[in-house]
Amino acid sequence: MIGIIPAIDIIGGRCVRLSKGDYNNCRTYDASPLEMAKRYEDCGIRRIHVVDLDGAKASSPANLKTLEEIASSTSLDIEWGGGIKSLEALRSVLDAGAGHVIVGSTAAKEPGLFAMWLEEFGGERLILGADVRNGKVAVNGWLQEMELGVEDLMEKFVPKGLKEVICTDISRDGMLQGPAFSLYTGLQGKYGEVDVILSGGIAGMEDIVKAEALGIRKAIVGKAIYEGKITLEEIRLWLQRG
């Protein structure tokens, strides 16, 4: 059964959603990150995806207090990303309660450093963040594009014990237009030992059903929940089915 991982993006301690990764195209929602986390836990979710967008922009974790609140108030497995550019930052996120840490920009720009972290902390704790725009990896809060494809990036770390990669299709993120399914099935077919996590474009439960049928193992869902395209009751019923 495909794993549904709800997303919480944070700016200034508030829940937000960007469209296509554009900080200038940002919508803020009323619920706090902790409130949303508790709602997800209540409907049966066990793992959430949290992005510290302030941290991504500042190149250093900026919302650790929020992470600590969620970790201490729920039993959720938290995967946390945004601004993990140093060993100190990585340890601070783990110490604050994250079960998994997402590393994107550093993995792309300093692959040797991320490889060392993988060997020290293991693929059970570290997740590769591969954010893609126009076929190329984007870094630093999606503000900078590199001459590097997602497969080129993954090739560096599969031999080092990589177990999970979150591949975000920036062009579809927050747009509610459906995922680029072929991107994920292609990567999953090539790297069977790695969980390729779909991120970007989920517009309704029909996309979840299709992703599962295609053999995609996990999917991150964000704006579709905030906009009521997928309800918490639908998620609860889906999880009960499993």
Among the options 52, 131, 173, 195, which is catalytic?
A: 131
Q: State the Cα–Cα distance between residues 39 and 171, nearest whole angstrom.
A: 28
Judged by phi (left if over 0) then psi (alpha if -120 to 50, else beta), residue 137 lies in beta
Are 55 and 83 a contacting pair, CB within 8 Å? yes
Domain count, the chain: 1
Is 9 one of the catalytic residues? yes
pTM of this structure: 0.93
Neighbours of 165 (CB within 10 A): 26
CATH of the domain at 233: 3.20.20.70
Per-residue pLDDT tens over the stretch 68-122 = 999 999 999 999 999 999 999 999 999 999 999 999 989 999 999 999 999 999 9
Per-residue pLDDT tens over the stretch 125-169 = 999 999 898 878 988 656 677 789 999 999 999 999 999 999 988
Is 131 one of the catalytic residues? yes
Residues 6 or more apart in contact with residue 233 via CB below 8 angstroms: 43
